Structure 1
């Protein structure tokens, strides 16, 4: 389909626009940041977080760039933190990174109870979960490599893995859980330099396991098997190789007056923690009819007449939904639950307003975030689009397609609840006014987004069993979760087609133009 090809050409071009701005400002911009969805507005939490960061910085400056600490230990308000300078940080860079990483965390994730940041020179992580001394085999999407190929790449590939594996054995027998060395590659007649290290809270066994996992992922680091150098960061370890000696860390704290100023231009209230107000069709009717088959055994049992009352039973019948046999697996929420989650639809929780009414952020008692769409009295939705949403969304289940959670039809309220997505739509990152959002799109994340969109489309076109054409694919309909995983949304204009159908003539304009 030429339109799909054109979409990806334009998308990839836009994704590449900010590369120079990222590399020009990587001193302050995280290579990777993850602000989780468990939020708090508690002023005591902000005080505790500042106390934690102060403890981490002072301890790290006196212990070769590594520290772990906790505040409110043994209570339900405990916060755990870890900070570490990478051993290939140049002299002075460690102290600077310790300072601006903690400043960045407060500015980028002011209300998140858990967050992770990686920079060129250091790594910061904090959480209300106790992750200290626990192996975390989660790769952060900031695999970086030198793009210039080398001759005799197969020879160098073997040398790289031999070197890094020998350094792994050396590191696990070191109290610092760190090793650095070099090995001459006969194919290129040049030395290859390597470094491996783990966070110093790990056991020797866990350190070895982490480095081994990083080595297994090295081949997938873009074109690392042919590149002059590469580095991979896991939550618990870090590996790197180059064709030149690495500037090993010589810790020497900088005086406060010598620290470079923090870039105030990168301030933002909530980078990566805004829920999505999905543009386009309001899906509450979809969920209501799709979930018709599931009745929750509570005092608020929803009957078929309740659901039909959304637009009137006659209109529901006219959609032809009765003959589709669609049954969803959605939860029926009580209105009291939704009001409690959204603070009675408070303006402070209002995320925006689409063509079908306002959208609110909500948090359930178990801490799960939801986004609630509330039908406006003046809102109308075409019956054809309704049928599309019900038939398609009720039967689709894929990590790159937006997920419905449930609905509520009670009193005069008609509400849809769907998964809470902690980053804004893709168009906000590509062309929004917030420079920080654009700078967060590393090449690895861009590639991940393209892969996810392709995977979602493949599922729609050939794997779902329905063969669906979306017909309105655009950056504003690509939603991003907390891990920057893309999810395709808004199926109001989607169409089904037969297995053997390759062409379709139409005189009706659809989509965005």
Structure 2
């Protein structure tokens, strides 16, 4: 019997990657009765709104975007970290368009988030109810009804009073005379007033009455939700990293214990002050880097990669104080917040000398630990190139870890490229300059620097634009150094972003310079088409960007891929050459992909011979896979330097 031996490995492969379906089906959905036409202004507005929605997180899981006649909003449960939240909302924007393809109004409810584009008429008249198949036993029924009502009333009051950023509450009560515990949750969109939230939750709670005997009930509305179960179905409430601790409880204990602790503290300070003074003076004489950034420091993440600091270290590095950064960012205020990534938020700041900065603040709950932080600092201070973002300094104070970058007034490439209005500012000449800049920056990382660097998370949101729209590559927290003649490496911790990952990296954990080449090819097609790779439409139908580009190019219809908004400025020969180059970069076999030196050579028109014919690209699985819940992923941060990555268990 000829039995394919590779079939035996399917269970191993499936078990290795912790992959699940992109999202389960909606718990519930509503598709309105009115439809829009494919060529309508509303359709274009809705496209823009849903493209940009995942970049509008208020920091606590509420997304809200408006363009012309269209508005969309999404809300995540209060126990969701930013990346799980973003993934849920991102999937909802695609799934809702599939199940309600032409509806002006629609709502989709997941367990962890919901998305709606109400456009003024749905209100809270639409709700979906889900009940447990199990009934409460007769012996505790009366107490169950009373306690569940008490619990929801208390949670309703807490949620309604939650403020302008989040209206969310969870809790539990024990049913008298039994060991049964009722766990409850209430939540409203934070744009509701306290009265509006209370009214919504009151109405939702009233809908429970016919199902009072059921042991679990969920009521989803368009602006609020109510749920209770006989088991704990929620995690601890997620909060951003705190800058200060303001605990005012137990003040009486503090009055008694405080003087004693103060006396002990003074003794310790006197004994240790002289030692600290001498140690700091020695460190100043050595340089401004902390011990973990000095030569000779190593840990598990850096063993096997030994490089001298003087190789490329021609930049200046400052160790900023926490107080200086707090002052510059108005104590990390929401008004200064530029965006939220999986590894933490990014803030705009201004130093005392008037210099503007961008501050990446590593979240305590993020997937980026001290290892990635040190990697980013040590790498960037060794790399000096006009197409790489400039790191000005860092700050390590207790649990705080901050990276301070030059501020880019024009934010990141994706904020222009995928914005319905701002994209018109990216004429063909600017796009050409940006493409060449990215390519040269990558060439420097791979070949021209004395360190061979694999970026591993190349994408539009990691390309910053300066005042003159010059491209600068950012986010080196996930980068890896290759030593000597090393050509390839394997990892069991995959970092990056689906849609940009090369197949050998996403599926096998193998990465090389050709992994970055693949990501560059995807970006190049995005720049040509003006559309996201995971939200690409051709002839008003969702399509796979890579396969559509290959098919059109193969049929000599490549011009149909070009962004119609630059139709008056693009150069047809150059555009078709870009498509050809991009398709060479995204070929399935890494050996078939060109090096970045060759890519630059081709882009600048110095390739005199006819460009090679690319093979068909692999089918991207970006739409059909997501990371397991236990992993950490970054969001699509659309502004300043922040590590924006996904991590996934591999082999």
Band of TM-score, shorter chain: 0.3 to 0.5
Max Rg structure: 2
TM-score after normalising by structure 2: 0.32
TM-score after normalising by structure 1: 0.40
